[in-house]
Structure 1
Amino acid sequence: MKKIGFLSFGHWSNHPQYETRTAGDTLLQSIELAVAAEELGLDGAYFRVHHFARQLASPFPLLAAIGAKTNNIEIGTGVIDMRYENPMYMVEDAGAADLIAGGRLQLGISRGSPEQVIEGWRYFGYEPEAGQTDAEMGREKALQFLDKLSGVGFAKPNPNPMFPNPPGLLRLEPHSPGLRERIWWGAASNATAVWAAEQGMNLQSSTLKFDESGEPFHIQQAKQIRLYKEAWKKAGHEREPRVSVSRSIFALVNDQDRYYFGQQGRSADSFGYIEADTRAVFGKSYAAEPDQLIKELEKDEAIREADTLLLTIPNTLGVEYNVHVLEAILEHVAPGMGWR
């Protein structure tokens, strides 16, 4: 058994072939798609977070809206760039959204990826300390966020408050019990996957990873996951960790599918640089008739290692078509893979 969710980048553009021509289109259709995905029996609705781009950015209003419209589906991010965040305010936002959703948030956070503007976090008022890199700043903020999610009081109360205080030091409110265990770290390297395990975070690994061996993407990713699991066990955490991978997977069951994605079935891993000195490997897309698709997916070692699979979707093609894409995987692929 495997949990299956969708991952939306939330693109929009005033393009004649797009169903999402405005930010409002994307936000409202994201809610509609999450509701439809729950009705299909999908396990998760996840959303990317990118700043300075015509894509979804501040996630908590959207997550709260979906939480109010759904009952069972997990609601998450993949990932929130902590370099841009105020950890204190984020604890309050996350707590409120999780309570609205009844404890269904699964928040993916990370140091972030290359952005649309140079050092965009500076425009948000954040700057690394002397001798600190922006990645270190992101990880430090992540630890602050995790610490305050615990719900332990830390702030000295005013002796003459506007409202009566409970005894002792005060914590951030609203507090959502259990949310601390539903935080995921988006790791691009083996080292940060191990670090995430040590901090008690679940692991999100996407279709991009630092190239650390020159091997095919799924093999490098599977090794990363195994290192994470070993580090988790060594750290002595009591609960079982969760691991997700994301993939672009399309079952070609009609002519429209073949028109949109028929050529992607010939794709392969690619290697390149995401920053000046950072070589990465990008995972291929999968697109084929269901029987062939199952044969190809059976070879993917990282999918076997993960308990959760996030399917990247073409959100610009609209809710109806994306429901079809997800339904085709659940009906024609998941049973053959033993996921359902």
Structure 2
Amino acid sequence: MSEKKIGFLSFGHWTPSPHSRTRSARDTLLQSIELAVAAEELGVDGAYFRVHHFARQLASPFPLLAAIGAKTQRIEIGTGVIDMRYENPGYFTEDAGAADLIAGGRLQLGISRGSPEQVIEGYRYFGYHPAEGESDAEMGRRHAEVALQMLQGQGFAEPNPRPMFPNPPGLLRLEPYAEGLRQRIWWGAGSNATARWAAQKGMNLMSSTLKDDESGQPLHIQQAEQIRIFREEWARQNEAGHGHGFEPRVSVSRSIIPVVSDQDRAYFLGQRDSSDTFGMIDEKTRAVFGRSYTAEPDELVEELAKDTAIQEADTVLVTVPNQLGVDYNAHLLESIVEHVAKPLGWKTPEAA
């Protein structure tokens, strides 16, 4: 396998339980910052966070991303993913620009049309309603397209002839503008069609452990096909003269637990889920849910070497059990770097 970037992906769960190390939202936020700092010290390449509204999980991403940006120097900081059905494209552009400037250009923002929610049509409580004849997914993609335009930094707003402060000449853009951020937007694609659309719109591809079942094949095979479709469409855009001016990146998410200690065995060895599962995520959509990789290092390396989607991707995001605390998750990430990434050639000893 080729060298890859390795990041962690945290859902930021918290619950007021004596068994949880994150018993409040404050615990989760502060520990997320601590884990990103620890991950950077371990040579991990990325700290990514999921966004879920109306849940005891991480929600508003930009304060957290900005705080991590101020506390770290090298690690990529991202989301996987922001539900664009809930987003005001203008505020999204301003918040993202500010966080990226604080981080020195390290933001990697995964966005999407969203997934099944905690509440019914939760985006309506945020003031957003699909237009007549428009689905909520189409509304999310519309919000994304507006944000992509704004992130380019071109003026679009007519200036006030009597402004409070002097304006530069011409139409105005949103500030602060973060140069290069537009090329660091990823689309969380749940299907082959939306992967193709992401390539057409000039976004990197983010594919999770959940995907629409389009062939009945295991997740990694369907995901590898999705990645090939994305790259073929990207090349087609270049050939047609509609290229985006950069080489796209592709990430896949995995649950990977190397069992190297008694604590690992106590937590995970009895919870092995060694095969994908299939099921309905709503009344219309059948999906494939990816398996977990939980084993001793030699077995893990052998199993992951057969994962065709990982072979196709340049970035692997490893989901972490954040409720077990910073120390345990830092141990988990170190185990992945040492016992999985290096033997598979994802990282060289020098890179780590």
Bin for the TM-score computed over the shorter chain: over 0.9
- TM-superposed CA distance for 1:209, in Å, is 0.2
* 1:45 aligned counterpart, secondary structure: strand
Q: In the TM superposition, what is the alpha-carbon distance from 1:268 to its structure 2 partner?
A: 1.1
Q: How far is the alpha carbon of 1:260 from its aligned partner? A: 1.1
- Read off the aligned partner of 1:71 and give its amino acid letter: Q
Asked if the contact 1:264/1:286 (under 8 Å) is kept, the reply is: no
Which amino acid in structure 2 is aligned with residue 326 of structure 1? L
Q: Return the match for 2:230 from 228, 247, 265.
A: 228
**Which residue does the alignment assign to 1:285?**
292
Rounded Cα–Cα distance in structure 2 between residues aligned with 1:170 and 1:264: 55
Q: 1:147 to 1:120 in 2, by over 3 A?
A: same
The one of 252, 256, 259 equivalent to 2:259 is 252
Residues 151-197 of structure 1 deviation map (CA, whole Å, 9 limit, x = unaligned)? 00011111111000000000000000000000000000000000000
**1:19 aligned onto 2:21:** yes
Superposed CA deviations along residues 36-67 of structure 1, whole A, max 9, x for unmatched, are: 00000100000000000000001000000000
Query: Out of 337, 345, 352, which is 1:338 matched to?
Result: 345
Matching of residue 154 in structure 1 with residue 161 in structure 2: no
Question: Which residue does the alignment assign to 1:311?
Answer: 318
For 1:83-232, list aligned pairs within 5 A: 83-232=85-234
Match 2:5 to one of 3, 6, 9: 3
2:350 equivalent in structure 1: none
Cα offsets for 1:252-309 (capped at 9, x unmatched): 0011101111134343100001111100000000010100100000110000000000
Contiguous gaps of at least 5 residues in structure 2:
348-352
Show structure 1 runs of 4+ deviating over 4 A. Answer: none
For residues 145 and 220 of structure 2, the distance between their equivalents in structure 1, rounded to whole angstroms, comes to 29
Give the secondary structure class of the aligned counterpart of 1:160: coil
| 1:54-89 deviation digits (Å, cap 9, x = unpaired) | 000010000000000000000000000000000011
User: Given the alignment, which residue of 306, 314, 317 partners 1:299?
Assistant: 306
Amino acid at match of 2:306: K
| CA distance, structure 2, for counterparts of residue 284 and residue 334 of structure 1 | 19
- The alignment's C-alpha RMSD in Å is 0.6
Name the amino acid aligned to 2:323. Answer: T
CA separation in 1, counterparts of 2:97 and 2:298? 43
Q: What is the total number of aligned residue pairs between the two structures? A: 340
Aligned residue among 48, 51, 65 for 1:49 = 51
Deviating more after overlay: 204-213 vs 261-270: 261-270
Asked if the contact 1:264–1:285 (Cα under 8 Å) also holds between the matched residues in 2, the reply is no
* Amino acid corresponding to residue 231 of structure 2 in structure 1: K
CA contact (8 A) 1:46 1:78 kept: yes
Measured in 2, the distance between the counterparts of 1:166 and 1:281 equals 52
**Match status 1:78 vs 2:85:** no
Cα offsets for 1:17-37 (capped at 9, x unmatched) = 110000000000000000000
Matched, 1:240 2:242: no
Instruction: Say if 1:185 and 1:196, in contact at 8 Å, map to a contact too.
Output: yes
- Separation of aligned partners in 1, 2:143 and 2:341: 38
Structure 2 CA distance, aligned partners of 1:35 and 1:176?
23
* Paired letter, 1:296: E
Matched AA of 1:47:
F
Letter in 1 for 2:224: A
Q: For 2:157 and 2:345, how far apart are their aligned partners in 1?
A: 50
Q: TM-score scaled by structure 1?
A: 0.99
| DSSP-derived class of the 2:281 partner | strand
Distance of 1:338 and 1:263 partners within structure 2:
29
Residue 38 of structure 1 is matched in structure 2 by: 40
Task: Kindly indicate whether the alpha-carbon contact (under 8 Å) linking 1:270 and 1:284 is maintained by their aligned counterparts in 2.
Answer: yes
Distance in 1, Cα, partners of 2:133 & 2:111: 23
**What amino acid is the match of 1:112?**
G
**Matched residues in 2 for 1:41 and 1:265: separation?**
27
